[in-house]
């Protein structure tokens, strides 16, 4: 059974950094693209970034480009989102999600989310 | 950029009745080479992550009840719940994946009347 566990959220001051992790199990991690999607409190979904199965392709939303870095370790089945220069508008529940086998841009399994709060 | 607009914002439907909601893209998400629409639908219940319902505009994900169906092409799409069940209370989001950057609609919240 596909299992994604998001972790690393917390309260951080504006301008500081935070590192989120997504631990995967129940599938061949190295065969799937993985995304981060966030949801501000009471709001809709916003795509953040995606990394291909072999990490050769990484794309970011304009809102985080240059501040967030997405990496993966296929030997440990872990995805890491390094978030720098955080802003209050980055406050959200962050989900990692697996890309579908039909297209890595269809999100077929999601973690439960980890909450990031950016506040002074 | 692909801007996804969903309507209505909320919908109240009696159990057993049909629920229909819409999603419009600012640009076509139809790929002429493979004749596919790059449009997906998700269901999000309170306190839970989203769940994939439909992709390629009309393909139901494995395990999704057949009361859920998707239709449309190009820029205009519809998600239909043929007979609303109490467990369908949720917010429904459309998503385009034609562009390199995924975008979601603002969601339609479905409640029981």
Chain B residue with minimum CA distance to A107: B52
pLDDT digits (tens, 9 = 90+) for A12-45: 999 999 999 999 999 999 999 999 999 999 999 9
- Percent of chain A at pLDDT > 90 equals 98
Instruction: State the pLDDT at residue A16.
Output: 98
Chain A residue with minimum CA distance to B106: A44
Buried b (16+ CB within 10 A) or exposed e, A43-72: eebbbbbbbebebeeebbbeebeeebebeb
Report yes or no: A105 at the B interface, CB cutoff 8 Å: yes
Buried b (16+ CB within 10 A) or exposed e, B24-61: bbeebbbeeeeebbbbbbbbbeeeebbbbbbbbbbbbb
Q: With CB atoms and an 8 Å threshold, state whether B49 touches A110.
A: yes
CA A31 vs CA A2, A7, A13, B72: distances in Å: 13, 22, 36, 31
Report yes or no: A94 at the B interface, CB cutoff 8 Å: no
A93, A101, A106, A108: best mutation site toward chain B, by most B Cβ within 10 Å? A106
Q: What angle do CA A107, A102, A65 make, to 5 degrees?
A: 45
Report yes or no: A59 at the B interface, CB cutoff 8 Å: yes
Instruction: State the pLDDT at residue B20.
Output: 96
CA distance A92 to chain B (A): 13
Chain centroid, CA B22 distance in Å: 7
* A21 touches A8 (CB < 8 A): yes
B37, B53, B63, B101: best mutation site toward chain A, by most A Cβ within 10 Å? B101
Instruction: State the pLDDT at residue B100.
Output: 84
pLDDT digits (tens, 9 = 90+) for B55-97: 999 999 999 999 999 999 999 999 999 999 999 999 999 999 9
Residue B98 pLDDT level (bands cut at 50, 70, 90): very high
B47, B49, B94: best mutation site toward chain A, by most A Cβ within 10 Å? B49
Instruction: State the pLDDT at residue B99.
Output: 86
CA distance B82 to chain A (A): 23
CA A15 vs CA A62, A89, B86: distances in Å: 18, 12, 44
pLDDT digits (tens, 9 = 90+) for B15-50: 999 999 999 999 999 999 999 999 999 999 999 999
Interface of chain B against chain A, CB under 8 Å?
38, 40, 42, 44, 48-52, 55-56, 61, 93, 95, 97, 100-107
Chain B residue with minimum CA distance to A50: B101
Strands (E), chain B: 4-7, 10-13, 19-25, 30-31, 36-37, 39-44, 51-55, 59-60, 68-73, 76-81, 90-96, 103-104, 108-112
Residue A102 pLDDT level (bands cut at 50, 70, 90): confident
The CA-based diameter of chain B, rounded to the nearest angstrom, is 43
Instruction: State the pLDDT at residue B67.
Output: 98
Decide: helix, strand or coil at residue A94: strand
Q: Which residues, at least 6 apart from A56, have a Cβ–Cβ distance to it below 8 Å?
A: none
How high does pLDDT run on average in chain B?
97
pLDDT digits (tens, 9 = 90+) for A45-62: 999 999 999 999 999 999
């Amino acid at each position: 059974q596909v299992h994604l566990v998001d972790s690393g959220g917390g309260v951080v001051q504006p301008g500081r950094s935070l590192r989120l992790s997504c631990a995967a199990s129940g599938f061949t991690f190295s065969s799937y693209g993985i995304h981060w999607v966030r949801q501000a409190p009471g709001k809709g979904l916003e795509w953040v970034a995606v990394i291909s199965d072999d990490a050769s392709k990484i794309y970011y939303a304009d809102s985080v480009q240059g501040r967030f870095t997405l990496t993966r370790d296929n030997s440990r089945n872990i995805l890491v989102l390094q978030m720098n220069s955080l802003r209050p508008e980055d406050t959200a529940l962050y989900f990692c999600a697996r890309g579908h086998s039909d297209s890595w841009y269809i999100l077929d399994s999601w973690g439960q989310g980890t909450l990031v709060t950016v506040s002074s | 950029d692909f801007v996804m607009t969903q309507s209505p914002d909320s919908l109240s439907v009696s159990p057993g009745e049909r629920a229909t909601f819409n999603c419009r893209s600012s640009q076509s998400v139809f790929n002429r080479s493979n004749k596919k629409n790059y449009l997906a639908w998700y269901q999000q219940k309170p306190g839970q992550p989203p769940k994939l319902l439909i992709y390629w505009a009309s393909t139901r994900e494995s395990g999704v009840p057949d009361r859920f169906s998707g239709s449309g092409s190009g820029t205009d799409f519809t998600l239909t719940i043929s007979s609303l069940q109490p467990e369908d209370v949720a917010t429904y989001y459309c998503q385009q994946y034609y562009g390199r950057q995924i975008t979601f609609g603002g969601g339609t919240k479905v409640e029981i009347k």
